Amino acid sequence: MRNAASAASAATRRSLWKHRPFAMRKIEQLVKLVHESHAVPLSGESRPVDLVQPGELGVTFIGHSSFLLQIGGRNVLIDPVFSTRLVVLRRQRRPGVLVAALPPIDLILLTHAHMDHLDKSSLRAVVRATRRLRGNGQDSAPEVIVPRGVEDLVASLGFSKVQGMSWWDQISVQGIEVTMTPCKHWGARMFRDTHRGYGGYYVARGGHSVYHSGDTAYFPGFAEVGSRLKPEVALLPIGAYFPDTYRSVHTSPEEAVRGFVECGAQTMVPMHFGTFRLGREPMEEPVQRLLAEVDRLGIRSKLKVLAEGETLRRARPAVIQR
């Protein structure tokens, strides 16, 4: 009798939780994540940037979804977050590279307005550091590309130029070919901030190409990216997938591998794991499941799990003799 009453009480609590306002549920989840983010000491170490040779591709994992791309002699940052805290949520591992160690940045790409991808204090720091390296003129600052509807968030941060893009738009910035790719996520800075866009990016220059999917659930767009763009390296998210409701906006490790296979890239680099507590899965689980899945499919050689600050290097493309 007591067990039946207990089960009924638990069912009632679940029902009440399910029918509570969305914003209230998200706030309570965030409070729990914030508490847990402060429960263990910060780990990891920053290291100098591994500068690649002219013609090589360098993909440096900074942490979470942040990368430095050295491509065709240009330096590109994607979703750079160096801050220890995002308001009150604390990172679990230090960034693999410090802002002061970066080369001068030509272009920054921001996938969406969420604070773990668009961090204003980090962006200001990058702009200041690049100006110090190049001189303090306005033109010495990097350019920035954002999804449509995000321009106002970065307009006052000191960039030399702000450009907004929509899915499948293509532009050239300083000889860097950029295509905004679709994804299955959401772009609000705040809960009701629904006018803001979101997406991923395909970046190409000097015979090399990189696809950064942005935050996304699994969707048919991976195959479309492959058929349209044929990326060389794919940076794909593997964390924040539990509980299962999170998979409406995030891929599980197995879904990320499926997306990698469908986009046809030569190498997969995982991201969106290990830095911030965003899901309920154990922090070490995403990489464990990722390795198990690529082993099951026999494609371990196509996977490169980068430590923070580590750089994937790809050689200069071979010149075709005519």
DSSP 126-177: HHHHHHHHH-SSGGGSPEEEEETT-HHHHTTS--SEEEEE-TT-EEEETTEE
Model confidence over 184-194: pLDDT tens digits?
A: 999 998 877 88
Asked whether the predicted pLDDT for residue 123 surpasses 70, the reply is yes
For the residues 292-309, what does the mean pLDDT come to?
A: 98
Reported as a pLDDT band with limits 50, 70 and 90, residue 39 is low
Q: How many CB atoms lie within 10 A of CB 254?
A: 18
Assigned fold of 40-314: Metallo-beta-lactamase; Chain A (3.60.15)
Q: Residue 43: what pLDDT?
A: 83
- On the question of pLDDT at 28 being above 70, the answer is no
Averaged confidence pLDDT in the chain: 90
256-298 per-position pLDDT tens digit: 999 999 999 999 999 999 999 999 999 999 999 999 999 999 9
Which pTM was predicted? 0.87
Determine the average pLDDT of the residues in 202-229: 98
Instruction: Enumerate the β-bridge partners of residue 203.
Output: 178, 210
Is residue 22 predicted with pLDDT exceeding 60?
no
Query: What was the pLDDT predicted at 321?
Result: 40
Q: Which residues pair with 237 in a beta bridge?
A: 271
Q: d(Cα 103, Cα 203) in Å, to the nearest integer?
A: 18
Please say if the pLDDT value at position 228 is more than 90. yes
